[in-house]
Amino acid sequence: MASEKVIQATDSAFESIISGEIPCLVDFWAPWCGPCKAIGPVIDQLADEFDGKVKIAKMNVDDNPETPGKYNIRAIPTLILFKDGKVLGQITGAVGKGQLVDLINKGI
């Protein structure tokens, strides 16, 4: 079940989502991507566990091609942690929850 705390990011709203002092983890994904679907529940768990400390967003790369191009995303899933609009870290591929928690902790 998808978490209501996950923000659905779009090209037009992306800058406002990643700016600010609260770190934001963005999951670049597509509905046809098997590994993206595999980590979806982990993304939802992180949104619940880090509620108030980190924003969690998902961006469908098929519907929003501009932002993935700007960040040179060549493979999905790619997860990028932003703080104050700057990239703090990036992971590509379906990784375990522990690796994502470690990435998030860089921003807190």
Is 33 annotated in the active site? yes
Q: Rounding to the nearest 10 degrees, give the CA dihedral for residues 17, 23, 88, 60.
A: -40
Tell me which H or E stretch contains 74. none
> Residue holding tokens 């923000």?
7
Cβ(68)–Cβ(18) below 8 Å? no
Q: Which residues pair with 76 in a beta bridge?
A: none
Among 9, 17, 26, 33, the active-site one is: 33
The active-site residue out of 6, 25, 26, 36 is 36
> Amino acid letter at 66?
E
Q: What share of the chain is helix, strand, coil (3-state, %, to 5)?
A: 30, 25, 45
Active-site residue 24, yes or no?
Answer: no
Active site amino acids: 33, 36
